[in-house]
Amino acid sequence: MQADVTKFADIDQVAATIRAKKGVIDIIVSNAGLTEEASIETLTPAHFDKTFNLNARAPVFLVQKLLPLMTRGGSIVLVSSAMHLKGFPGHTAYAATKAALRSYARTWAAEFKDRGIRVNTLSPGVIDTPILDSQAPTPEAREALVNMYLGMIPLGRLGRAEEMANAALFLASDQSSYMTGSDLMGDGGAGQV
């Protein structure tokens, strides 16, 4: 099902479809997001609102609408970013939204404890996905960007989408049944050293 999580009507439709077809939901993984650089001098209200609407506001209302369908023992995974730990030029709005997700996980872990619902964040580092293409206007600029990132990653490589999918699956599954309010860093060590 395709939906725009920045639109309440779309989120309502997702909840209604799940209610009609399944009746319950066991897992929510909130992974929609964008990053666009803007220094504090170039930051505009439009950039700020676009980033916050998708990265920080949408997950709140997605969880709000799906929570009544969530079973006891359910799991919510909010995909944050290692950026919530680091100061990185040009990422004022993006980093703040990812810090917000980390805060939501802590708050909701406490709020949903009596419902038996766990909430954790997954904080990827630099992952080799098309989002990198959106940060560079040319293949040469992308290569320079990747090389800059590689210099900050102790494992010396970009992460793969499959690695993040495996980490999200771990957090969603009973294999992490004693974890809530946690932040799983899938960042190749970039946020740790």
Is residue 16 a part of any domain in this protein? yes
CATH number, domain of 88, equals 3.40.50.720
Q: What is the mean pLDDT of residues 62-89?
A: 94
Domain that holds residue 34: 8-124+159-183
Question: What's the number of CA atoms in the CB half-sphere (13 Å) around residue 44?
Answer: 4
**Position 87 pLDDT exceeds 90:** no
- pLDDT per residue as tens digits for the range 96-146: 999 999 999 999 999 999 999 999 999 999 999 988 888 888 999 999 999
Query: Which pTM was predicted?
Result: 0.95
192, part of any domain: no
With H, G, I as helix, E, B as strand and everything else as coil, classify residue 73.
strand
178 is annotated as an active-site residue:
no
- pLDDT-derived band at 14 (thresholds 50, 70, 90) equals very high
Evaluate whether 146 touches 113 at the Cβ level (below 8 Å). Answer: no
pLDDT at 21: 97
Over 90: is that where the pLDDT of 178 sits?
A: yes
What is the number of structural domains in the chain? Answer: 1
Mean pLDDT of 70-82: 96
- pLDDT at residue number 118: 98
Mean pLDDT of 157-184: 98
The answer to whether residue 63 scores a pLDDT higher than 90 is yes
- Cβ pair 186, 125 in contact under 8 A: yes
| Choice among 94, 104, 149, 178 that is catalytic | 94
Distance CA(157)–CA(16), nearest Å, equals 42
